[in-house]
Amino acid sequence: MTYADAIDTPLRDGQIKIHDRSVAFPAMVAAGQVAAACLDMLGGEVREGVTTGRLDDLARQFVFDHGAIPACVFYRGYRHTICTSLNHTVCHGIPGERALKDGDIVNIDVTVIVNGWHGDTSRMYGVGDVPRKAERLMDITYEALMRGIAAVKPGATLGDIGHAIQSYAESERTSVVREFCGHGLGRVFHDAPNILHYGKAGQGAVLKPGMIFTIEPMLNLGSPSVKILNDGWTAVTKDKSLSAQYEHSVGVTETGVEIFTKSPAGLDQPHAIKA
């Protein structure tokens, strides 16, 4: 790393960075809006017969065309711009030859770097005629994300976020994946703190203005257990039940929360848009 970057390495003791909001928040909006616009664009391309590799090619081109860099390319040996997680894939599905089929549900997750700052967001998309139980899971997952975001304000705790998500998800008879979590981000992709999507109200670190992190709950219709396939990336449900995820990058403001990755076109829930 260069000396200039040294101040932005992940903090050793799990301390949570307090960003200068006048600098960091506009930069996070710039990055978040490219990531969100990329997902908007991909919504027009998701259809039966399209391969996940084609979606990845389109995403990479879009990112470069918008003056950004795909954060996942070369990240820990990953080689793609997006993750495409289909049906019982929980996260980190690798784009390739697989063509989308009628009835599939797919999470597309993109992280971009704009002027050194990261925008990280994902949404669910349905292909053609999606089973009612899959629609329901996607609805619940979006609502769980938004309830987690609604818990973010100065003085609230990380446990409040996890509790808001878990209590809602479980009340709807879905389960919360434990092995993956949200994360601090900014000039670092995966920074402190871990944002657990389960927890107890009032526990954990207290939120302060200037903190920046993702919230990205993964909910399953069956058991919460996951396993990693031999490719070293793809996480799937052990019981092959359907899984869904939504993700936003957010910052803590003086009074509440700012979402950096809101869709500029109002397409935050593509799974709910009927062709």
List residues near ligand MF3 by CB under 6 A: 72, 75-76, 78, 83, 92, 109, 111, 120, 214, 216, 247
Q: How far is the CB of 148 from Co ion (least distance, A)?
A: 13
How far apart CA 235 and CA 243 sit, in angstroms, is 10
Q: Which of 110, 108, 105 is nearest to 66 (CA)?
A: 110
Taking CB within 5 to 8 Å according to partner kind, which of ligand MF3, Co ion, none is near residue 75? ligand MF3
Neighbouring residues of 112: CB distance < 8 A, sequence distance ≥ 6 = 31, 34, 35, 38, 63, 66, 68, 69, 70, 71, 118, 119
Q: Which two tokens stand for residue 218?
A: 């993964």
Q: Which two tokens stand for residue 98?
A: 């697989």
Residue selected from 109, 160, 258, 268 as contacting Co ion according to rule CB under 5 A: 109
191 is a site residue for Co ion (CB under 5 A): no
Residue selected from 52, 87, 214, 245 as contacting Co ion according to rule CB under 5 A: 214
Taking CB within 5 to 8 Å according to partner kind, which of ligand MF3, Co ion, none is near residue 64? none
Number of residues that bind Co ion (CB under 5 A): 4
Query: Closest CB to ligand MF3 among 130 and 195?
Result: 195
Query: Closest CB to Co ion among 8 and 201?
Result: 8
Q: Which of 76, 75, 41, 66 is nearest to 56 (CA)?
A: 41
Q: Which two tokens stand for residue 5?
A: 């970057």
Q: Which two tokens stand for residue 259?
A: 């979402």
Taking CB within 5 to 8 Å according to partner kind, which of Co ion, ligand MF3, none is near residue 191? none
Q: How far is the CB of 260 from Co ion (least distance, A)?
A: 12
Q: Which two tokens stand for residue 69?
A: 């860099």
| Residues near Co ion, by CB under 5 A | 109, 120, 214, 247
